[in-house]
Amino acid sequence: MKVLVINCGSSSLKYQVLDMTSETLLAKGLVERIGLDGSVLKHEKTNVEDKFIQETAMADHKEAIANVMAALVDPVYGVVKSMDEIGAVGHRVVHAGEKYAASVIIDDAVIAALEECVELAPLHNPPNLLGIAACRELMPKTPMVAVFDTAFHQTMPPESYIYAIPYEYYTKYGIRRYGFHGTSHKYVAERAAYMLGVNIEDLKIITCHLGNGASVSAIKRGKCIDTSMGFTPLAGLAMGTRSGDIDPAIISFIADKDGINADEVLNILNKKSGMLGVSGISSDFRDIAEAIGDGDQRAALALQVFAHSVRFYIGAYIAEMNGVDAIVFTAGVGENDINTRDIICNELGNLGIKLDLVKNKVRGKEAVISRDDSKVAILLIPTNEELVIARDTYELTK
């Protein structure tokens, strides 16, 4: 069975087609600037060198998906003769609140439930829902599955997800820690168990998803028991442009000083903070590394702040789980940034965490990067959220 995986952002759409009998990637692509000038579709068929690039106006997600469908059946770049060969569509959905702890087949009731979650993820859920609506319209007979970023974290115990604010804010407004990147944390934790040849039920794992957005999770016996992102993806680690955890009193303090409102301060915390804010240079760790090479002190400070925040959560989760067997690095920075992994793991030796500086010289592929005498295994595992979405979609619809 072939599965189409769709990940819709507000003006972009990423997709992959996988053959689930062999779990192979047949094609992938990206539509950018949906609803803006210069919409473009970039489509790549596995083992075909040329990319198919189509620059056509695409006013909305429905037009974008119609163009994706045309690329998928294209005689040269396509991977199916007709869309009937696509057995199911898996959609990435950011927020399911407390409604779903696992992936679900999409029907009208699921759509209604997800619409209720829009206020929890006003930037993310609306484009996810637009993508689902467009696919349902264009492929009315094809089953659709929703796979949620929040689902894997639903196993957290209340002491991890309840904020110490009046309890009514939880019951009335759903204010609690939800956590994100769940699909990635789940995937790399399962791969870690596989790589170590140990049943996940017997492991305590800390997964570090370090990309533009970044989060750390504590996974005990295969279940998430805590994660660094919170009510929104702004909490936890310092990130590319996000502040991560700060004293909440800072918000009204900046608002008063700069004469702006809380939303404007939040915009600064989301888009102008993190690595970008501290370094004043860039949110991209490659630019930060280059600036450090040129002797820039604030770039060096930004990286130390980031590494400190990751180390802080690793320490917290070791305490919460009363130990750790494996630490996993994944996503853009975690998979590629040798120096940042080194700085994070530096001086954790007394906790039994010893990075092998030679084995650590690896990028973008599965590897054990801890020393042989390290009590805790340190693993590099490239994430594959699309594969998890495709697997769940296949399992629910086959």
Question: In which order are the strands placed within the sheet that holds 13-19?
Answer: 52-54, 40-45, 24-32, 13-19, 2-8, 86-93, 144-148, 104-105
Applying CB under 6 A, among 90, 97, 131, 211 the residue interacting with ligand ADP is 211
x/- track of binding to ligand ADP for residues 334-373 (CB under 6 A): --xx------------------------------------
Shortest distance (Å) from residue 185 CB to ligand ADP: 13
Q: Is 224 in the site for ligand ADP (CB under 6 A)?
A: no
Cα–Cα dist 27/15, whole Å: 8
How far is residue 39's CA from residue 57's CA, in Å, rounded to a whole number?
5
Q: Which of 29, 97, 332, 382 binds ligand ADP (CB under 6 A)?
A: 332
Backbone phi, psi, residue 65, to 5°: -70, -35
Choose the binding region for ligand ADP from 22-30, 62-70, 98-106, 330-338 (rule: CB under 6 A). Answer: 330-338
Q: At what angle do helices 108-116 and 125-138 cross, to 10 degrees?
A: 160
CB closer to ligand ADP, 217 vs 397: 217
**Among all residues, whose Cβ is closest to ligand ADP?**
332
Q: How far apart are CA 56 and CA 39, in angstroms?
A: 6
Q: Segment near ligand ADP (CB under 6 A), from 107-115, 123-131, 205-213, 347-355?
A: 205-213
**Closest CB 387 distance from ligand ADP, rounded Å:** 15
> Cα-flanking dihedrals φ and ψ of residue 186, to 5°?
-65, -50
Total number of residues that touch ligand ADP (CB under 6 A): 12
Task: Based on the residue annotation, tell me whether 107 is a catalytic residue of this protein.
Answer: no
Phi-psi region of 38 (alpha: psi -120 to 50; beta: other; left: phi over 0): left
Catalytic residue among 50, 108, 149, 226: 149
Residue from 29, 179, 213, 277 touching ligand ADP (CB under 6 A): that is 213
Yes or no: say if 151 and 90 are a contact pair by the CB < 8 Å rule. no
Name residues contacting ligand ADP, limited to 228-257 (CB under 6 A). 240
Distance CA 295, CA 354 (A): 28
Regarding 182 and contact with ligand ADP (CB under 6 A), the answer is no
**CA 152, CA 143: separation in Å to the nearest integer?**
22
Using an 8 Å Cβ cutoff, are 351 and 296 in contact?
A: no
Binding site for ligand ADP (CB under 6 A): 211-213, 240, 284-286, 331-333, 336-337
